[in-house]
């Protein structure tokens, strides 16, 4: 489970509530597997005198990054590490498909490519990243299809996807973002609806820019 709070004191209060619930129901949290991630403001330096946060009498470890539900979160709120996670996973899946199904026909390979290489888990949440990390993932995606279809390394990516009649990297991103934005706007949760309606929110603004072609 994850606890979110705007301050150290708020997190301590939430932990106290959780500890009380656990005691009443005969449960026990594993402090050695629990961690603290601080989302830092700009030019913020973590002070060594920051109060320790305890769970069951054990101080929790402060980390720079944390994987939650498969998505890598970092203290600086950048997405480069999660882009790299997806790139590595795609490389592994792509090599596996290419090796095991090398003798299959083109249609079978395209079906496997769509099933194993177009997932882009949580890609709709990527909004703050370096162009290098973004391009590295995009190139990896293109190269996997080239490898599967045994095409020249420097053949046209747009022509390759058009001929294969499958979505390129940008099309998948737009579809994922449109899907998430639609679900957030239609949610019964008032906080999510407010998020989707605020264009001054960085994430919402980025979603809109991608959908109208102002950003990638």
| 216 is a domain residue | no
Q: Are residues 26 and 131 in the same domain?
A: no
Residue 157 lies in a domain: yes
Q: Are residues 59 and 89 in the same domain?
A: no
User: Do both 115 and 187 map to the same domain?
Assistant: yes
- Whether residue 116 is contained in a domain is answered as yes
Cα–Cα distance measured from residue 108 to residue 110, given in angstroms and rounded to the nearest whole number: 5
Q: Assess if residue 74 is contained within a domain.
A: no
Q: What is the pTM of this model?
A: 0.87
pLDDT tens across the length of the chain (216 residues): 899 999 899 999 999 999 999 999 999 999 999 999 998 876 556 555 678 899 988 999 999 999 999 999 999 999 999 999 999 999 999 999 999 999 999 999 999 999 999 999 899 999 999 999 999 999 999 999 999 999 998 899 999 999 999 999 999 999 999 999 999 989 999 888 888 888 788 888 899 899 888 887
Those residues whose C-beta lies under 8 Å from the C-beta of residue 169, and which sit 6 or more positions away, are 137, 138, 141, 142
Q: Which residues contact 110 (CB under 8 A, 6 or more apart)?
A: 148, 164, 166
Measure CA 14 to chain center: 26
44 and 87 together in one domain: no
Judgement on whether residues 19 and 116 belong to the same structural domain of the protein: no
Helix (H, G, I), strand (E, B) or coil at 71: strand
Q: Are residues 193 and 97 in the same domain?
A: yes
Q: What is the per-residue pLDDT for 40?
A: 81
| 122 vs 85: CA distance, rounded Å | 11
Q: Residue 194 sits in which domain range?
A: 80-211
Structure tokens at 139: 């190139």
Q: Is residue 109 part of a domain?
A: yes
Number of structural domains found in the chain: 2
**Could you tell me if 16 and 104 lie in one domain?**
no
What one-character DSSP code corresponds to residue 101? T
Residue 96 sits in the same domain as residue 30: no
What is the rounded CA–CA span in Å between residue 52 and residue 55? 10
Question: Does residue 72 fall inside a structural domain?
Answer: no
Q: What pLDDT is attached to residue 44?
A: 55
Per-position b or e across 76-92, b if 16+ CB within 10 A of its CB: eebbbbbbebbbebbbe
């Amino acid at each position: 489970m994850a606890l979110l709070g705007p301050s150290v004191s708020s997190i301590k209060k939430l932990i106290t509530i959780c500890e009380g619930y656990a005691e009443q129901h005969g449960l026990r949290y594993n402090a050695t597997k629990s961690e603290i991630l601080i989302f830092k403001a700009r030019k913020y330096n973590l002070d060594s005198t920051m109060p320790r946060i305890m769970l069951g009498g054990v101080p929790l470890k402060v980390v720079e990054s944390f994987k939650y539900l498969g998505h890598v979160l970092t203290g600086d709120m950048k997405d480069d590490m999660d882009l790299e996670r997806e790139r590595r996973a795609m490389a592994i899946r792509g090599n596996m498909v290419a090796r095991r199904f090398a003798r299959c026909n083109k249609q079978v390979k395209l079906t496997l490519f769509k099933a194993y290489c177009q997932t882009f888990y949580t890609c709709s949440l990527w909004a703050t990243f370096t162009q290098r990390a973004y391009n590295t993932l995009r190139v990896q995606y293109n190269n996997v299809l080239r490898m599967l279809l045994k095409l020249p390394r420097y053949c046209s990516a747009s022509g390759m996807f058009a001929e294969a009649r499958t979505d390129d990297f940008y099309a998948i991103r737009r579809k994922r973002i449109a899907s998430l934005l639609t679900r957030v706007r239609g949610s019964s949760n008032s906080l999510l609806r407010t998020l989707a309606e605020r264009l001054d929110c960085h994430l919402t603004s980025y979603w809109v820019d991608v959908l109208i072609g102002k950003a990638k």
